[in-house]
Chain A
Amino acid sequence: MDVALALKGLQFKIKGSAELTANHGARSEDDLSKTLGISAKWASDANKNSILFDPCLRKLVNESCGTFLSGQKLAQNLDSGGDHGPELLKLSRRYRSIIRVCLNNLYDMVEKSNHSENLKASYYVDVVKVLDAIELIWHLCEILFVDVVPGNILLPQLLEWVRFHCPQAERKAALLLQAGTERVEAGFETASAEKDPDYWKTTIGVLLQGRIDATRALLVLHSDARTAPFQNADVCLRTMPLYNVHGGTAVSVFNAQWSHWQADVRTKVEDGVFASNSDLELIMKIVSGDMTVMDTIRSYCGTWYQLMTATLFFSEPTVKSFDLSYHADHAMRAFGSTSEMQDLDKLILLLFESNPLEVIQELQKTADNGWFAVHLTNLLYLCGRLNIFDSNKVNVAHQLHEHVLLDYGTMLMAHPSLWQVGVSYLDHCPPQGLERLEVLLPAIPLTSETRALKIMQIAHDRRLGSVVTTVCKVMASKSLRQERLGNALAWALRSMDANLTNHLADKFLAGFASKGEFEASDLLDNLGSCMLVSDRLTFLGKYCEFHQLYKANEMRAAGSLLVSLLSSHLPPKNFQLTLLMHAVPLLESRELVLTANDTDILLSCLELLETELLTQVDPSSISKTLDAATKEKIQIIRLSLARNLSRAIIIEGSDVPNTNARMVNAS
């Protein structure tokens, strides 16, 4: 299976969801999408089959997130000026080394699973191919866009790129060289390396990759190395001018040296200096830039880009970067028909054409859930190499950048474990990122309190108060469902939601009314200032305090608290009678607890309550009276009030308030 098939086979496309896009200015997004040529596709599902979530690649996700964030830090300094080229290059290399580490792990996995499961091994082989392709493209991007070289002469780096990704020839050369040295050391007169069937193939292979030194070393190992043709060839190769970007030679000077040298080689070839050995003659023809051997070169190259760099090396070593697109096209034609062109070739061609937008569009289709697209886009954006113009000639690069980040962040947010990584990406696409975070954070299932606390911290750090409230409310209702009234109240208090706390306070009161004791008294007794969140909760807190005082036998304090509660608007109507009933033992206690004034307040409360109760009674009923139990309670209270009032008046010896009439009426 080749790389393009692997890319296609594992292709993962994110499905768009129209409903969700509608919430966030669907129109503008669509317009933008048209310009950018990317379908609007947010609210993606984190497909578990995607290779990105394989344990091996999760390292990639997490480590690159760290690199991404340091890139954003760098971006903050970019505005302040100065040359950040070296730092950006370092960043690019760090991404590549992350991929390489990942690849090495995968090689180990392939090796390990080879012994056991074939299926798994072939899966990892595919993953390796995808990552290999990613690294190849990244490396090329780094050469073309990140590592800016004076004079735009990129061939030396491109040769390095080819060597790095097509290492077969170099590896074989190393083996041959080692074997040859061993033979010489063992006392043989010559190494006779040409006996190896791959000798000439390897020699030409390294030559085409620009390794002149390796070619010479290999030629020395030939049995005829001491004969005149070989000696001559060695001289030619040794004197070959090599362009060094930082060497200080002007391009024109180098070009003059180069054509002079090539003419010299050509003369020697034409004179038949190398004719005794056809392979050697081929090498020298290649070196002299002889176009007639083009076809032969082709068979030594595995890919069209190898062919391109090889031809350029011997025909136009100082080619400028903007000419590469022409040469790429040319090499591709020479190598084979374009109908066989595969995704990877297309990407490389697009890169030579300096068309990052299309590259990014293509990359979004790869099997890595956009991992590559997002990080490459980000890097190019930081380097200022992402320039995309819409129909109005406005640069929309930042929109593309934001769009890609949003997609990737959203995709990760949907993953059950990597959602925290998603947050980091959404953090860096203002202003939409924060909005989306506000929608997505509360959607994460609150499976445990630990998770809830993590989400709350994320929301809190980003000042998303509404998310904090939502999480607290969800936790409260979850606790309520689990019949944990105390915990529900603890979460409700954090949400500061008055309605919810009112509701819970009512539940507490109802529980008290039926059981005669409070659930979660450890919480209620320690509410502190939190009880001020809602009226009902304040009442609940004070009511508990009353019971505490009562239990502690602090009758006076309990009494005055009760009176102040009843005279406030806090108690719910259906609870007033219960409160008044609590007054009875205080009124009947051996010592005087409630003063005449207090009694008066209670009495007026009772009067008010009775009137209200009477009016509430079903008007259709004939009796127009209260039920027996309520009636009895009211009577008991009234009696106690009367007795206490008389006692209080005597003890206090003070002026009788104007309540005589009512009291007489009561008795």
Chain B
Amino acid sequence: MDDRVQGTFISEKVSKVRWKPENGYESHHFVTGSWDNENLNKVTLWSCPIDGIEEKDDPSLICSSPTDGDVTELKFVQNNDFLVSTSSGTVQLMTIVDVGDAANTVLKPTMSWRKLHSFKTGELGACTGFATYLGDVATVGENGSIVSLNLEKRQPLRIIESADSCSLRCILYLRHSEILTGNLRGQMKKWDLRIADDKSILTFMLSGDQLGATCITQHPTQQHTILVGGEDGSITVWDLRQTSYAVPLAAHSGLVSEMTFHPDRPDHLFSCSSNGESWHWDTSSVSRSTRPGQNMSWTGIDPLQNENPWLNTDAVKHRLNVVPLMPTLHKGVNSVDVNKDKVVVGCDNEAVYVISDVLNSRM
């Protein structure tokens, strides 16, 4: 394997992995969440050796905390606070206490919301994911409901009980009051949380094949551009200003498990798939070539719109620079996160891989 890839086996299948934010500085800590490990699932904080002295060392375990079920989503809300959702319908706010002192660092649960997505029969249903917007959190579950939470309040703000007749698989905040959900059949629904009526304001299908939506992500700067990952490995690009306009990309050959844009460099997208692929999409060359000021005006296309390579059908299909982050694994890659020039991926072969220098050209 490439010497930029550092793999570590951690004895549990990894469902989520996230860098701990450091106010925009480079991070040396990440958190993993495990799945499918009977009743032994947990979230774990890891520390990466700082470059230079012990560059080739494995990340070391700092501390962990058990969860009640598979970890289904994990997101940081503050530098030291993260939310974790589980397959038993719990969302928990965890705080990393004493991060400077590795021996005494602990993960402390500070707030938890339980049984958010129970079925009509009373059986516990999985929370399949959540999205955050400032202090607000919206969760979705297998029971097809949407629950809106606030980090300051113990009680849910609002529950849309029958938001969907199928399991909801993914959610995204489009803006503070608007959310987008995707279900098992690839039906996408847009909701306005200000409207008291429990009806979506817009519904559309990802494809005609009834294949599920697995993840959604939003372009960091052009927020009308939405990417939806599908069960068949396709990535569909939606321009929310024109709901009928979608560019389906035949991307991975297995279910797209996660996609994330680089927060500071929106030209770069990272995606991973259950067939073991983890990819780096570099659109900087496309963006540069269509920048206004070049001889583009005669085509009559709005140069500003064209600048977004994801909405440029031709560019997306033929000119995107896609490079594998590492060789294809024999088990699924479940999660990917990026911080500065380091990517971390978590996989079903019970390993996490830290890949450094990702933004340098690999060609």
Task: Write the residues of chain A forming the contact surface with B, with a CB cutoff of 8 angstroms.
Answer: 55-56, 58-59, 62-63, 65-66, 69, 416-417, 420-421, 424, 447-451, 453-454, 457, 461, 481-487, 490-491, 493-494, 519-523, 526, 528-530
Contact = CB atoms under 8 A, between A and B. Distances in A.
- Across chains A and B, which 4 residue pairs bring their CB atoms closest together, nearest first? A486-B165, A520-B165, A59-B9, A55-B11
A424 B331 CA distance: 9
Contacts of A449: 126, 128, 142, 167, 169, 184
Given A449-B126, A487-B144, A520-B165, 9 more contacts: A66-B349, A69-B330, A421-B349, A450-B87, A487-B142, A522-B164, A523-B166, A528-B210, A529-B208
7 contacts: A55-B12, A58-B9, A448-B126, A449-B169, A450-B128, A486-B165, A486-B166
A529 B210 CA distance: 10
A563 B242 CA distance: 37
Interface string B150-171: 0000000000000011110100
B255 A417 contact: no
A450 B165 contact: no
Nearest to B118: A482
A55 B44 CA distance: 14
B120 interface: yes
Interface string B123-157: 10110100000000000001110000000000000
B11 A457 contact: no
Nearest to A527: B210
B11 A58 contact: yes
Contacts of A483: 119-121
Contacts of A493: 185, 210
Interface string B231-243: 1000000000000
B35 A482 contact: no
Contacts of B349: 62, 65-66, 421
B70 interface: yes
Contacts of B183: 490
Contacts of B165: 484-487, 490, 519-523
A519 B165 CA distance: 8
A127 B169 CA distance: 42
Contacts of A417: 12-13, 36-38
A9 B142 CA distance: 46
B232 to A, nearest CB: 10
Contacts of A481: 121
Chain A binding surface, main DSSP class: helix
A526 B203 contact: yes
Interface of B: 9-13, 15, 35-38, 70, 72, 87, 119-121, 123, 125-126, 128, 142-144, 164-167, 169, 183-185, 187, 189, 200, 203, 205, 208, 210, 212, 231, 254-255, 274-275, 330-332, 348-351
A520 B143 CA distance: 12
Contact of B254 (A55, A421, A447, A457): A457
B331 A420 contact: yes
Contact of A490 (B166, B189, B348): B166
A484 B119 contact: yes
Contacts of B38: 416-417
Nearest to A69: B330
Contacts of A521: 165
B185 A523 contact: yes
Nearest to B123: A482
A449 B70 CA distance: 11
A59 B10 CA distance: 7
A55 to B, nearest CB: 4
Contacts of A494: 210
Contacts of A519: 165
Contacts of B125: 482
B9 A487 contact: no
Contacts of A522: 164-165, 187, 189, 200, 203
A66 B184 CA distance: 32
Contacts of A528: 205, 208, 210
A62 to B, nearest CB: 4
Contacts of B144: 484, 486-487
Contacts of B13: 417, 420
B153 to A, nearest CB: 28
A487 B350 contact: no
A520 B203 CA distance: 14
B252 to A, nearest CB: 11
Contacts of B142: 448-449, 487
A424 B350 contact: no
A75 to B, nearest CB: 15
B70 A450 contact: yes
A141 B36 CA distance: 36
A574 to B, nearest CB: 24
A484 B15 CA distance: 26
B344 to A, nearest CB: 18
Contact of A453 (B15, B36, B255, B275): B255
Contacts of A457: 254-255, 274-275, 332
Contacts of B205: 526, 528
A63 B9 contact: yes
B306 to A, nearest CB: 32
Contacts of B210: 490, 493-494, 528, 530
